[in-house]
Amino acid sequence: MLSTTTQLLRLSQGQLNLLEACPRKFQHTYLEKLSSPSDPEHEERQTLGSRFHLLMQQREMGLPIDSFLQVDVQLQRWMSSFANAAPEILTPAINDQTFRESEHYRTLQVQDYLLTVVYDLLIADNQQAQILDWKTYPKPLNKSKLAHNWQTRLYTYVLAETSEYLPENISMTYWFVQSEGNPQSIKFNYNAVQHEQTARKLNQLLSKLTNWLQRYQNNEQFPQVVEGSKACNYCQFATRCEREQSTAQESDDNQLSVNGTTLLSNLANIQEVSI
Residues forming contacts to ligand SF4 in the complex (CB under 6 A) are 22, 24-25, 28, 224-225, 231-232, 235, 237-238, 241, 243
Upper half-sphere CA count for residue 259 (Cβ side, 13 Å): 1
Q: Report residue 216: phi and psi, to 5°.
A: -60, -35
Between 117 and 235, name the residue whose CB sits nearer to ligand SF4: 235
Minimal distance, residue 153 CB to ligand SF4, in Å: 21
Minimal distance, residue 225 CB to ligand SF4, in Å: 5
Minimal distance, residue 39 CB to ligand SF4, in Å: 17
Between 54 and 225, name the residue whose CB sits nearer to ligand SF4: 225
Between 78 and 237, name the residue whose CB sits nearer to ligand SF4: 237
Minimal distance, residue 44 CB to ligand SF4, in Å: 25
For the purposes of burial, counting CB atoms within 10 Å of the CB of 239, is it exposed (0-12), middle (13-18) or buried (19 or more)? Answer: middle
For the purposes of burial, counting CB atoms within 10 Å of the CB of 100, is it exposed (0-12), middle (13-18) or buried (19 or more)? Answer: middle
Between 121 and 238, name the residue whose CB sits nearer to ligand SF4: 238
> What are the Cα distances from residue 151, in Å, to 34, 158, 217?
23, 11, 29
For the purposes of burial, counting CB atoms within 10 Å of the CB of 234, is it exposed (0-12), middle (13-18) or buried (19 or more)? Answer: exposed
